[in-house]
Structure 1
Amino acid sequence: MNNNKLLALSLALSASAIPSYAQDDSGREEATSRRQIEEVIVTARKRSENIQETPVAVTAFSGDALREQGIMSTQELSKSVPSLQINDSTSPQIFIRGIGQRAHMARFDPSVSVYIDGIFIPRPDGQLLDTIDIESVQVLRGPQGTLFGKNNTGGALVFNLTKPGDTVGGFVEGLMGNYNEQSVRAAVDVPISDTLLSRVSVSSRRRDGFLQNLGSDSNQSIDRLSAIGQIRWEAADNLTVDGLAFYGKVREKYPSYHCELINDDALFVNGLGVLWAGDTDPSNPTAYRDNCAANNRKNLPDLTTNQGDSFRAVKAQDILLLGTTLEWQISENNTLKTIIGYRDATKFGPQSAADEGGPQPFLRALVLDDSIQESLTLEFQLNGSAFDGSVDYTAGFFWQDEYKSERFLTSNPLVGAESSTLIALAGGQSGLNLPNLGTLIPGGTVPLIAGILPLATLQDFDINGQTYAAFTQATWHITDNIEWTLGGRYTEEIRESDLVTRSADLGAMLSILNSIDPRFIPVVPDMGVAAYAGTWSEDPIQIANDALNSYFPGEIKTPLGAPQYDSRDSTFRQFTPMTSAAWIMPEQWFDDGLLSSAMVYGTWSFGFKSGFHEPSGIDGLTEVAPEELENREIGIKIDALERSLRMNIALYSMSFTNMQLITVNVDSANSLVVTSQNAGESTIDGGELEVLWLPSENMMLSFTYSNNNYKYDEFMDNDLAALALRGEFVPVDRSKEDFAVSPETSASFGAQYTIVTDYGLFTPRIDVSYKSEVYMGLDAGSWQVAQTNPELIYAEAYSLVDARLSWNDPMSDLRVSAYVKNLADKRYDIGAVGTAESLGTFTRALGDPRTFGIELRKEF
């Protein structure tokens, strides 16, 4: 066979030469010359449109493109999509243009919506899907406040599965790599009749953890099993029914992390003057610092952490997703679609949510037992055209019913203090009075052990929520080249929250401690204060905590008091309009010219994310109002050089109000609590660039770039030390801080070349991605540290290089690929938190080191 025929055969297999996909009206890929960029069809406006004629900032990938680049999970999309940042350390986080949800608790709605075959995935921990049997994925940037089933402020990720075919066929794919990685994927189409088609897909992926936690197992492992069953029934010429069943099982370990002390004056370091287990000299307490230093990245071997055996890194979850889509072609120009989705997910505990980062279990936050997530969604979409095709429209209704439950434990050890310190702390706490403590224990010569920090706060949280939304959008084609779009959505979110809180019974705790070791003599039961009949040199704090740990071997190390009940109901309503105008320049302008086509558009749109109820320690539930976002955007989409060069640009300015920001606060018992509140307003100005160039039939080059300038217009908080020590609310202006988690600049470059030989096609490929430094501070004190020691509070900028070499035999439908990811073995952070004001630490989770392996794919 000559080389030209071999290249032609390869085109039928490889729309993957470019990071997009081409489809004809039937949804199947077209084979066109690689010299000309294929037409990409997207559904960003709920109808099939050429991406270059769609006035939306959207990036699209086909399943072949994902495989060509070696993208095996949603998280890896952030390497190639501008303004997209996805972290999956101790919690999943998806950010677009700096907008995302930092915390993963059940009460938070995601800022970026994820859909699979039109079904909304409501929880962040279920959004990071493996790319099993994906036909296409679209990343829509900016608020999708009109057409998509659940309002959001950041954008949307839209996944579409490969649908059943009308002939028997499929593929088998296997992978083996370092860290004992093993992956098997397979799919098969089995037509049952001419009108009833089926497809079954399975995937198993396992990899050992690469991060060794001293005293425990290795963390950051992969262990996922999933299966998808699909049915397509062509009930009539104008009626199609698609059924979907997805089951996923996750049994892996998320990363443990490292610790670095960043503020000696933090409350838990020197600020409160308390002593910790291991402190035997009250004039020179070092245990808290030593605990962090024991897990400092600089003090440990490479890829090693030291969080001890109390760190709960298990990531265990079962997910069942069922869906049905009915598409009825009412007439030639009008279609009614009904989408029904049901999701049932269970997260198994205990899972560590946070601690101060050292091997000793000083400060812990755990998700206990099983967390239940159930949701049912229903959506109607009426799509069509009117007035002789001059108006395209979409109208519909969306409904969701969701139930979530979560059991959350914050747990702290007994600490110690001198009597003068304890009196000072008590003086700043409402309702506490220790006038006789100095008399009982003069001079502080007797060790005092106390539950100054809450020994345990156990919260059972149940949330019922309903969403009702009606939406419509219409595009008027004023001329063949000018269109105007107008749309709006009315949303009503109902939240019903029930919270049961149980706190430690300090009096009962002291009685138990005294019965175990009579040397601990109760002094002030209400504060859990006991005097120790001995000396500091005996380490009485460790003795007391060991006694409680032996008496309470479970996760809850103390008796609990009577439950406190709190319930709140709220309804949040919002109308989000949008309008856009687009001008598609006449084709005759570009005859035999440099440009092949061009479109200019402008958009004004709104986004909205529901409010919720926030637990605030013993104070119960508080209401957090919805977020609101206004987006102003202009863009240009250009094809040039006989459609071998594509360049898309978007420039935008967004105004963000009622931002739901995480702050560290105190409750009425003066206990530290991490809460969310509507603390800020901001402006985000940015730009995105995507370039794709096919300089020859065999070569592809791609480049993306994004820059987002984030600025708080308002961000008010309270001084934490004043609250904790004196009970005073002192306002702090945090508007000068950088945005957290999302980098200002990201970029990527990809190059691929196909070498045609008598032995098949050889395709080397290289991908380089870059992320700028990221501010990771959580509290006001972190920003103060950043001004003098930015390396202590920023995740460093990094570049990753991935390389692949594929061999493809079009005659046998066989493909073999060797790959290396993170070729330079770069150390970089995928998650970090700086809490300089309270914990005084900077904790960081590492991303994957160099991984490599070989893949084999056989189609039949």
Structure 2
Amino acid sequence: MILGAGAIATTTARAQDAADTPQTAAVTGDDIIVTATRQATLLSKTPIAMTAIGGDKLLEQGVSNPTQLTDQVPNVSIVRGAGMQITIRGVTSTDSTEKGDPSAAFMVNGVYLARPQSMEVSFFDIARVEVLRGPQGTLYGRNTTAGLINAITTRPEPTFEVRGDASYQSYNGLNVTGIVNAPLTDTLAVRVAANLDRYDSYVTNTSGDGYSTDPFKNNQSVRLSALYTPTEAISLLVVGDYSKQKGTRIGGVPTLNFYPDAAPLTDTSATEPARAYQHTGGASSKDLRSTPYAQLWKPFVNDDDKGVMADLSIGLGDFSVAYVGSYRETNRDEHSTILAGLNRATYDGHFWQTSQELRLAYDHGPLKVQVGGYYFKEKSGIAFFILDPQDLGFPDDAAQYGFPQDPTIAVNKSVFGQATYEILPDLRLTAGARYSHDDKSRVGQTVYDTTDGDRVVLQINNAERSFSKVTWRAGVDYDSPVGLIYASVATGYKAGGFNDGCIAAEGASSLCVYTADELYYKPETLTAYELGVKLHTADNALRVNASLFHYDYNGLQLSQVGDFGGCGYCQLTTNAGKAKVDGVELEGFLRPSSNLQVELGFNWLNARYDEYYPSKVVGDEEVVLDFHDHPLDRSPRVSGRVGATWTIALGDHGELNANATLNYSAKYTMTDLANLIDFIQPAYTKTDLALTWSAPENRFYIGAYVYNLENKVVITAAGYGNFGADGGVTFMDPRRFGVRGGFKF
């Protein structure tokens, strides 16, 4: 079993399960093979700040969706919004629209998933999860400014296996996974895994309108994998998956539940945003998680996601070739109530993406080299409409107001190379670079439709733009007698984009009114300087990982929703100048005896704007603030964790594992840029407890657990609202009790 957490993994992994290439690596002691460098390496020998968590560890901790990695990985926050929003070391993106890109990439088996709505359904039958902190612009390319998460699914094995895992917890939470693995021939094996993931909403509808918020999520997924290995040097993995995503996705409550004194900035002499502090009046967790706003109709999500990928590896002596290709489609059919119960809304969308990557590697003597090329294309057509929009200033005959956008296209082409050379025994230099070219375009409109069926075009949303960038990495690492010591400088890049509208020009439509500076926003870039160590004793009874880093972050892309320049209800993305990030991450793993394991973690983070001047019109006067040293969102200055696992051997009756983990976070800020309000989340602790009995040889297990024992309601996003409507907040999971069990044979 894997009992360590964070960047410490304490179970061996098979190289054939881990590697993107035919190359294998030896495993010693309590180490695990990872593929962060696109080749199989030991975690303890990989000169990157990263966390690797094995599949058994995920099961033991009850981690069944990416948001739970927040408590497992240093300086990482993963929250639900319109899909998953990932923040790593203070770097994030809030644009989840069809044209937006994340700052941290989410991958499955090395395939980038462009839409945040597709991430959660991939999280079952996982061999391991790798979380890389810091820009990965050389080997992984665009949209890895903050880092990346790579979920590696379990590959078919040459043995027959049947496995089942299930848990039931508070809020009618049910998560069931069934797996069958079978060898068909000496060279071909297949694996089928199916998953049901559902639970009720943490939000209670107290409006009395009769519309339930349950279930929040009801997802059914299936994955079929086939592994063909005609020789030791050749392997072909093909994976196909399909998921149906249903539920209400009602996960927010009124801002006033937590911030009753919140108000937009009105002081024209102000030099900093208005502050909103939590005042809950001693309300219970259940009361805080309730909403009085009518749903107006039954909200629902009826989405599906499907895809296929192939991973071909060929060994040619000192050379190896790897190809990874994929195709994915997503369909979205959703009804919701927005603007604090004022309006119903519909969303229809179809997305597809394809990616192709070819890599050639050379490994001989002191030299390792990788070169490759990458192609990615995404195309979508969407229609988001707000029904009965009279409250937004539309005439009485307006039936719906919205944004039909079709198509939106993004294409990325890149080439890359990286080399590592051992200049002296155990001392290596690494250098690499990547050239990326991005083309983005959209054809769309802002419209309202009348009750008579006529369409009034308010604005044309046609735009196109191209961006190019060279990112690079340079590093040195030394395998000392006590562990790995490394230093690196790395860069990251996320392409720019466009807002709603089109460029005004002579003879053009009167509906095009924007200048290029108003319509387009620029790329964001990041340069990271890092010094780290991965130390251990000879028997691995003590491990210490530490990293010290500094970021120069330029052109941050910040998104806000409101009425900007008469656009109506729309999202505006702008560049925020510069930011700086400094931090320290410390992780310790101690095994004082064979039946006790202790984990310790401490993080210090100073993520703040350096040059940014947001503004707001107050009355007839424009107020411009100086955000120098203002903190970035969801970036607590101090965070950490302490955990212990006690194992009691029961002889022929298996073993009993008791686990307790305490997570701590200092206060942090969430800024509503449209209204210039800082919402403050106070410091908090969260305690998780678990007790699990396992039969000999882990043939089956049963356990009980409680998460967030304190029942803290921790805010992850907050806004004041628009058009006279109250704003809303979203939050982490409240306290949950549960039982789980499983078997395998």
Pairwise same-fold verdict (TM > 0.5): yes
CA distance in 1, matches of 2:391, 2:444: 28
1:352-363 paired onto structure 2 within 5 Å: 352=337, 355=339, 357=340, 359=341, 361=342
In structure 1, what is the equivalent of residue 737 of structure 2?
A: 852
C-alpha distance in 1, partners of 2:205/2:267?
28
Cα distance in 1 for partners of 2:285, 2:63 equals 34
Other structure's SS at 2:381 match: strand
Pairing of 1:404-483 with structure 2 (within 5 A)? 404-409=380-385, 414=390, 457-461=401-405, 462-483=407-428
CA 1:131–1:84 in 2, change beyond 3 Å: closer, same or farther? same
CA distance in 1 between partners of 2:634 and 2:697 (Å) = 47
Correspondent of 1:561 among 429, 448, 456 = 456
Q: Which has the higher strand share?
A: 2
Which residue of structure 1 lines up, in the alignment, with residue 377 of structure 2?
Answer: 401
Tell me which residue corresponds to 2:505: none
1:637 paired with 2:522, answer no
SS at match of 2:618: helix
Can you list the C-alpha shifts for 1:408-451, whole angstroms capped at 9, x where unaligned?
335785469xxxxxxxxxxxxxxxxxxxxxxxxxxxxxxxx986
Shift of 1:600: 1.7
1:495 counterpart residue number: 440
Partner Cα separation in structure 2 for residue 196 and residue 670 of structure 1: 57
State the 1:705 CA deviation.
2.2
- The 5 A counterparts of 1:108-507 are 108-129=100-121, 131-214=123-206, 215=209, 216-219=211-214, 221-254=216-249, 255-260=251-256, 266=264, 301=287, 303-310=289-296, 313-331=299-317, 333-352=318-337, 355=339, 357=340, 359=341, 361=342, 366=345, 368-386=346-364, 389-409=365-385, 414=390, 457-461=401-405, 462-503=407-448
> Offset at 1:44?
1.3
CA distance in 2, matches of 1:695, 1:264: 50
More deviation, 665-674/757-766: 665-674
Q: Which moved more, 1:658-667 or 1:481-490?
A: 658-667
Using the TM superposition, give the Cα deviation of residue 295 of structure 1 relative to its aligned residue in structure 2, in angstroms.
Answer: 14
Q: For the Cα contact (< 8 Å) 1:265–1:840, is it kept in 2?
A: no
Q: Does residue 678 in structure 1 map to residue 622 in structure 2?
A: no
Rounded to whole Å, the distance in 2 between the matches of 1:77 and 1:184 is: 19
Is the contact made by 2:89 and 2:607 (CA closer than 8 Å) also made in structure 1?
Answer: no
User: Structure 2 matches for 1:25-36, cutoff 5 A?
Assistant: 25-27=15-17
The CA distance in 1 between the partners of 2:530 and 2:381, in whole Å, is 39
In 2: Cα distance, 1:17 partner to 1:679 partner: 39
3-state SS of 1:67 partner = helix
Q: CA deviation at 1:842?
A: 5.1
1:808/1:815 contact within 8 Å kept: yes
Q: Which 10-residue stretch deviates more, 559-568 or 707-716? A: 559-568
Q: 1:501 to 1:670 in 2, by over 3 A?
A: closer
- Scaled by the length of structure 2, what TM-score is found? 0.87
Separation (CA, whole Å) in 2 of partners of 1:365 and 1:100: 29
- Whole-Å separation in 1 of the counterparts to 2:164 and 2:567: 59
Q: 1:52 aligns to what SS in structure 2?
A: helix
Determine the structure 1 residue equivalent to 2:508.
none
- Give, in whole Å, the separation in 2 of the partners of 1:668 and 1:174: 52
Structure 1: how far apart are the matches of 2:281 and 2:293?
A: 7
Q: Secondary structure at the match of 2:123?
A: coil
Q: 1:716 aligns with which of 610, 613, 626?
A: 613
Deviation at 1:324?
Answer: 0.7
AA in 1 matched with 2:253: Y
The residue matched to 1:826 in structure 2 has which SS?
coil
**2:2 equivalent to 1:15:** yes
Structure 1 gaps, min length 5: 1-13, 272-292, 417-448, 506-550, 553-557, 588-596, 787-792
Residues in 2 aligned to 1:749 and 1:294: alpha-carbon distance in whole angstroms: 29
Tell me what 1:579 maps to. Answer: 474
Kindly state the Cα deviation for residue 371 of structure 1 after the two structures are TM-superposed. Answer: 1.2
Report the CA distance between 1:674 and its aligned residue.
3.4
CA offset at residue 395 of structure 1? 1.0
Secondary structure of the structure 2 residue equivalent to 1:561: strand
CA positional deviation for 1:312: 7.0
Gaps of 5+ in 2: 269-278, 503-510
User: Structure 1: how far apart are the matches of 2:160 and 2:306?
Assistant: 27
**Bigger radius of gyration among the two:** 1
2-side partners of 1:50 and 1:812: how far apart? 25
Cα distance change of structure 1 residues 25 and 174 upon mapping to structure 2, 3 Å threshold: closer
Is the CA contact 1:494–1:571 (under 8 Å) kept in the aligned structure 2?
yes
1:818 aligns with 2:704: yes
> How much has 1:351 moved relative to structure 2?
3.7
* Alignment match, 1:278: none
* Contact 2:253/2:291 (<8 A) preserved: yes
Distance 1:822 1:732, change over 3 A: closer
Q: Aligned partners of 1:664 and 1:736: how far apart in 2? A: 24
Residues 1:174 and 1:717: Cα distance change in structure 2 (over 3 Å): closer
| Percent identity of equivalent pairs | 22
> Are the structure 2 counterparts of residues 311 and 716 from structure 1 closer, same or farther at C-alpha, using a change threshold of 3 Å?
farther
Please, what TM-score do these two structures have when normalized by structure 1? 0.76
What is the Cα deviation at residue 811 of structure 1? Answer: 4.9
How far off is 1:459 after superposition? Answer: 1.2
Query: 1:235 deviation in Å?
Result: 3.0
Secondary structure of 1:734's counterpart equals coil
Q: Which amino acid aligns with 1:574?
A: K
The verdict on how the C-alpha distance between 1:685 and 1:189 changes in structure 2, with shifts beyond 3 A counting, is same
The Cα offsets for residues 310-354 of structure 1, whole Å up to 9 and x where unpaired, read as 3775343211020011111122x22100001111011212345x5
Give the 3 Å change call, closer, same or farther, for CA 688–839 of structure 1 in structure 2: farther
Distance in 1 between the 2:280 and 2:483 partners?
59
- Report the CA distance shift for 1:729/1:666 in structure 2 as closer, same or farther (over 3 A): farther
Counterparts in 2 of 1:668 and 1:827: CA distance versus 1, 3 Å: closer
Does the 8 Å CA contact 2:179/2:192 hold for their aligned counterparts? yes
Local SS of the residue matching 1:615? coil
Relative distance call for 1:412 and 1:300 in structure 2 (3 A) is farther
Q: Deviations over 1:43-83 (max 9, x none)?
A: 11111112222210011011011112121111101101001
Find the aligned partners of 2:723 and 2:607 in 1 and give their Cα distance. 25
Q: Deviations over 1:163-203 (max 9, x none)?
A: 11112113112222332233321111111111111110111
The code of the aligned residue for 2:359 comes to Q
CA drift at 1:853:
2.0
| 1:767 pairs with 2:661 | yes
